[in-house]
Amino acid sequence: MLSPQHHPPSTLLKSHSLSSSSSSSSSSSPRLIFNVRRRSRSGVPGNLPVVAVISRRGGGGDKEAAAATTAPVVDDPYESLSTSPPSEKIEVRVVITIRKKTRETLSDKIGDHWESFMSAFGQGIVIQIVSEEIDPVTKSGKSVESAARGWLLRQSDEAHIVDYTANLIIPSNFGCPGALLITNLLGKEFFLIEITIHGFREGPIFFPANSWIHSQNDNRESRIIFRNKAYLPSQTPAGIKDLRREDLLSIRGNGKGERKQFERVYDYAPYNDLGNPDKSVDLYRPVLGGGDKPYPRRCRTGRPPTSSDPSMESRIEKPHPVYVPRDETFEEIKQATFSAGRLKALFHNLIPMLVAGLSKGEVPFTCFTEIDKLYNDGVLLRNEDQQGVIGNLLLPLLMKKFADASGSFLKYDVPAIISRDRFSWLRDNEFARQTLAGVNPVNIERLKGFPILSQLNPAVYGPPESLITKELIEKELHGVSVEEAIENNRLFILDFHDLLLPFVKKINSLPGRKIYASRTVFFYSKEGTLKPIAIELSLPPTHSSPRNKHIYTQGHDATTYWLWKLAKAHVCTNDAGIHQLVNHWLRTHACMEPYIIATHRQLSAMHPIYKLLQPHMRYTLEINALARQNLINGGGVIEDCFTPGKYSMELSSAAYKNTWRFDMEALPADLLRRGMAVEDPSMPCGVKLVIEDYPYAADGLLIWSAIKDWVESYVDHFYSEPNSVSSDVELQAWWSEIKNKGHYDKRNEPWWPKLNTPQDLSNILTIIIWVASGQHAAINFGQYPFGGYVPNRPTLMRKLIPEEDSPDYDDFMMSPQYTFLTSLPTQLQATKVMAVQDTLSTHSPDEEYLGQVHELHSHWISDHEIQQLMKQFSSRLEEIEEIIIEKNKDYRLKNRCGAGVPPYELLLPSSGPGVTGRGIPSSISI
């Protein structure tokens, strides 16, 4: 056997030699050479040569290679570990589990053959096993290094997943493996699910990866994979302390240069890539993050600046991908069967076809029959260049395609909101019910005092008092005074006035956009339902109209009825915009991104809090990158189809500046802030709902409570010692970075929670997990069920409400229906936003739901007690699902049960794929 060579401590062996013995040429399986060495930054490694062979697991006959070793192979490795003297050796089996492509191209297959040929000459994959025990001489972990020479594989029960096995001999005093270093000498990356080592006293030792292993051609540094045992920083075994630090340093990068697609580098940047001024001056968009436009930070890509403005980053336009760290990209099953394929189809194929089919973009709906045709007849898709393209685009399950001689028709399924009751959207009680059980149930507040006042500067925005007076309200209360109604918690308000009014003038200057700042007051009846009683629509004050406000109430004559309907439509439009830009995008997607970046940068993969948060970070950076490229960018779908237009993200920034607080993202705190609950220590979450039949809050508190109990038990398990939280250097750096880098513009706010005790940590983690799971599910997966019927939830209005002295008032009097319909989005705008809403409401086939662990991720942690706690959490969610199902059958709960009333299912934990209107994924994955 050739003598081992010296290698730099920070890299793996890059060359290996076959044994010179004659057995190397006669064996039917290629042999591997393993070099046992002590890895040290400062010492010279010492080596003990060992030889083993790869065998086909589960094979037989001449495919099973006999092990050629320098010491006898023992039959029972467990016994050898416990009884063998240190000078003896033991045999262990290493199993590498890799996911192959589900759809291999010819070049992929040719590449696989070439790599098999190359690996036979030692040019494949090098694995170094590092012990948790330190070598007393080198002060570094003991290690065994192996070059895989040849792929003899066993196909697993899962399609596209294969195992490769190797038997190797190691010293019996090696200690327990704690980490692996992997060098990929192949010409391309591969996806490593996990590596398992059999033969140690502890039983199988798992090294979960679920990671792309880069080619050495791209990056010469080896990848570090830790075993599935969680360690606080102070508990890290001596043999792998250096690796823990090195892994975090590699993930953080140096903050320089443009990131490459194969990299795993996490860093921060402002939202300076939304506009494209090099393409058009109309596509200039201000930088969000810093100055007077604060915003959470996004993942840094490092692209060069635009030529027009050095503060802005040049864009990567579709179909080219925006950089996210390699492991944040969609897994192939999601790419092939859902999001990447679907989103690509949506933006690159379907929307252009809709534009071609509805070539006159300003064509409005002129009768309700034209809306019904979207579900009955469909939209004609022209310019279908590829045969069967629509059928192959993996479009949303609720869209159906029919072809005739003239082309293809894309039909939308009937949205849930009108599937049971076609006219429900017309009724006041349904308009009010959706504030409690719709897709945006997080803005309604209890009216706590009177008069209703604005907090805006009166010198700029006029008198602060609302025109909704006490006398006006009491007309609708039938003998109940305002004071009595407020005292008995029976008056509520949907108030978008202060957020929207500073933008109204700018938005109304855009073509085809008209908006008011709105307030809507509701009365909670003794029958247990909400009733809207007054709507105030405001425009900025002018010299002629210093109080440019208009009041609308439900009337009994035709004119008042239609004016009321138009006023409700404007409120729905405001609600749709605030929902999409503030509650959905900002409060879940954008605010979650810094938590994910900080978790990767500051918490080791072996940190227990990293392991807890890992399922709640899946796919979020990728979906956010796609959104910056296609949805929230200048000229994107949101600007095109929602009222704020080019000011959409500036509006989102204003909401972040004026209203967002981390501590208020806790569901109980949010309900207390809005007055929708009162403190009650006897209740499970410490709060009692003011409206018992508030489906979002009632179901949400059940989910919140389950998450809280799970997190508290998890944290208590790992942080049982005094000062264990405050002394955790990684944890403290994580929380500091979230505040001071991820939410840099809010870093000095006094409301940030402290992180000193296990209870502090539990509260913070519960908020993060709730936002990623229950909160996002509640405001995302109902987008098509509620918004797929345009009159129920228009995303923009194109006309102000006619006034008696305006030129279009006569047209309104002649045909109020025509005025209403032509105020809604155009046919093109409506069909585009419906396609997007349907896609964003759809669950992927590979969705991972709250409380569930995918079989491929089952070895995420080795701690038996934590595994049992996870099972309890899962069981609790199953119980909650049954509770919610029973609630939806209770006719006393009129906001979730009744004639034609769709049940409230958005917080049911489980779901199948498609647009189901239910299911809580663990992460923001769409």
Choice among 583, 780, 888, 895 that is catalytic: 780
Kindly list the strands in the beta sheet with 379-381, ordered across the sheet, starting from the edge strand earlier in the chain: 379-381, 407-412, 399-404
* Distance separating alpha carbons of residues 399 and 915, to the nearest angstrom: 10
**Cα–Cα dist 601/433, whole Å:** 43
CA-based nearest residue to 268, from 773, 761, 745: 745
- Half-sphere exposure in the Cβ direction for 483 (13 Å, CA): 0
Take residue 426 and report the two structure tokens written for it. Answer: 């017309």
C-alpha torsion sign, points 857, 861, 864, 865: negative
854 is catalytic: no
C-alpha to C-alpha distance for 744 and 298, rounded to whole angstroms: 11
Q: Are 252 and 601 in contact (CB under 8 A)?
A: yes
Question: HEC profile for 218-249?
Answer: CCCCCEEEECCCCCCHHHCCHHHHHHHHHHHH
β-strands 153-155, 31-38: how paired?
unpaired
How far is it, in rounded angstroms, from Cα 170 to Cα 167? 10
Q: Tell me how far apart the alpha carbons of residues 307 and 300 are, in angstroms, rounded to a whole number.
A: 19
The verdict on whether 113 is a catalytic residue reads: no
Query: Is 383 designated active site?
Result: no
**H or E segment to which residue 617 belongs:** none
**Measured between alpha carbons, how far is 729 from 700 in angstroms, rounded to an integer?**
33
Helix, strand or coil, per DSSP, at residue 111: helix
Close Cβ partners of 135 (under 8 Å, ≥ 6 residues apart): 38, 40, 141, 142, 239
Indicate the DSSP class of residue 914. B
Q: What is the DSSP string of 307-362?
A: SS-TTSBPP--TTSPPP--GGGSPPHHHHHHSHHHHHHIIIIIIHHHHHHHT-STT
C-alpha to C-alpha distance for 485 and 438, rounded to whole angstroms: 25
Q: Which of 16, 214, 579, 584 does the annotation list as catalytic?
A: 584
Q: Are 696 and 437 in contact (CB under 8 A)?
A: yes
- For this structure, is 607 an active site residue? no
User: 882's torsion region: left (phi>0), alpha (psi -120 to 50) or beta?
Assistant: alpha
Q: Which of 16, 743, 776, 843 is catalytic?
A: 776
Whether the CB-CB separation of 611 and 912 falls below 8 Å is answered with: no
Cα 465 from Cα 456, distance rounded (Å): 11
Interhelix angle 241-252/591-602, nearest 10 degrees: 140
Please report, for residues 409, 488, 581, 589, the alpha-carbon distance to residue 313 in angstroms, rounded to integers and kept in the order given: 40, 54, 22, 21
Task: Let me know if 600 is a catalytic residue.
Answer: no
The residue type found at 342 is: R
Q: Hey, what are 414's tokens?
A: 């009937």
User: What's the CA gap between 654 and 656, in Å, rounded?
Assistant: 5
3-class SS of residue 591: helix
* Contact criterion met (CB below 8 Å) for 781 and 440: no
Q: Which of 497, 589, 616, 859 is catalytic?
A: 589
Rounded to a whole number, what is the distance in angstroms from the first to the last CA of the chain? Answer: 55
Question: Known catalytic residues?
Answer: 584, 589, 776, 780, 926
